Amino acid sequence: MENIVKTLLFFHISSGFISLVLFWRPVFLKKGGKGHRIAGKGYVFFMWIVVISATLLSVKNVIIGKYFMACFLGFIALITANPLWYGMVILKKDKLKSSLRGRLIYEVVVLFFSLGLVALGFQGIWAGNEANVLLFVFGGLGLTSILNIMKLRKTDPEKTDRIKDHMVGLLTSGIAAYTAFFVFGAYTWVEQYLPGMWGVLPWVAPGLIGGLGINYGVKYFRKKGMIKDRLKTAQTTS
């Protein structure tokens, strides 16, 4: 058992490091070019190793009774897998409807998982366990998936902007990866150099910076004509 865990940790950490480096290659390379595609596929490949190994490590934590770590690690794996999968499959036009249906199922799973985290977090807070505040907070953030569910139910597959969804999906997976790195991988460094409330910064910084980056990227590539203009799309369909 110990050797299996060590092997999983090795693949998880090494693949995570490679993913964090590869993430930036397709961001800055010419979109749709050979280098962009190769780097992107490499990033996705190693990220799937990270997600799968994280899931297995979560199962291990359940077995040994570390439920807090199991829930948290499992949740990050879940919210990373969703945009990672959807960001790639959406590029395949023949799988457009099935990919939207699959994403809807994913969002429902995230919703129920988030409800469980909120319940566990509330129970822990009630019992005086401050660590469970994180479960409550992240579970609360996960509840926003209900907005995605409502949006997906109304989505017309023919009007889906595949390039935008591809970009947003993979950038979102990168945000999750960097959040996990700062929370788990750089925990000692964070604890040493960011004492007190400053320690929360690594938890929120990737999401904040990434969100702004996604917003800027969508606007930039919309101007370039690579992403559909919502106003023009509405005018042509009305």
> Given this model, what pLDDT does residue 185 score?
66
Give the model's confidence band at 238: pLDDT under 50 very low, under 70 low, under 90 confident, else very high: very low
pLDDT one-digit tens code per residue, 2-14? 788 889 889 998 9
pLDDT one-digit tens code per residue, 107-120? 888 888 888 888 87
Q: What mean pLDDT is reported for the chain?
A: 81
Give the chain's domain count.
1
Q: What angle do CA 119, 125, 129 make, to 5 degrees?
A: 120
Please name the helix (run of DSSP H) or strand (run of DSSP E) that holds residue 72, with its range, or none.
helix 67-89
- Phi, psi angles (nearest 5°) of residue 52: -65, -45
Give the model's confidence band at 187: pLDDT under 50 very low, under 70 low, under 90 confident, else very high: low
Q: Is residue 238 part of a domain?
A: no
Residue 95 has pLDDT above 70, yes or no: yes
Residue 105 has pLDDT above 70, yes or no: yes
Q: Residue for token digits 């979102």?
A: 172
> Given this model, what pLDDT does residue 236 score?
45
Question: Minimum mean pLDDT among 12-21, 58-67, 155-164, 174-183: which range?
Answer: 155-164
CA-to-CA distance for 57 and 182, rounded, in angstroms? Answer: 18
Query: Is residue 55 a contact partner of residue 86, using CB atoms and an 8 Å limit?
Result: no
Residue 229 has pLDDT above 60, yes or no: no
CA distances from 163 to 70, 98, 207, 219, 221 (A): 34, 17, 21, 13, 10
> Is 58 or 237 the better-scoring residue by pLDDT?
58
10, with CB counted inside 10 A (0-12, 13-18, 19+), is exposed
The tokens for 57 are 């490590």
CA-to-CA distance for 39 and 93, rounded, in angstroms? Answer: 22
Q: Is residue 236 part of a domain?
A: no
Q: Is residue 233 part of a domain?
A: no
- Cα dihedral 208, 115, 73, 84 sign: negative
Q: Which domain holds residue 155?
A: 2-228
CA-to-CA distance for 184 and 177, rounded, in angstroms? Answer: 10
pTM: 0.79
Q: Is residue 126 part of a domain?
A: yes
Residue 23 has pLDDT above 90, yes or no: yes
> Given this model, what pLDDT does residue 52 score?
94
Q: Is residue 154 part of a domain?
A: yes
Query: Is residue 104 a contact partner of residue 135, using CB atoms and an 8 Å limit?
Result: no
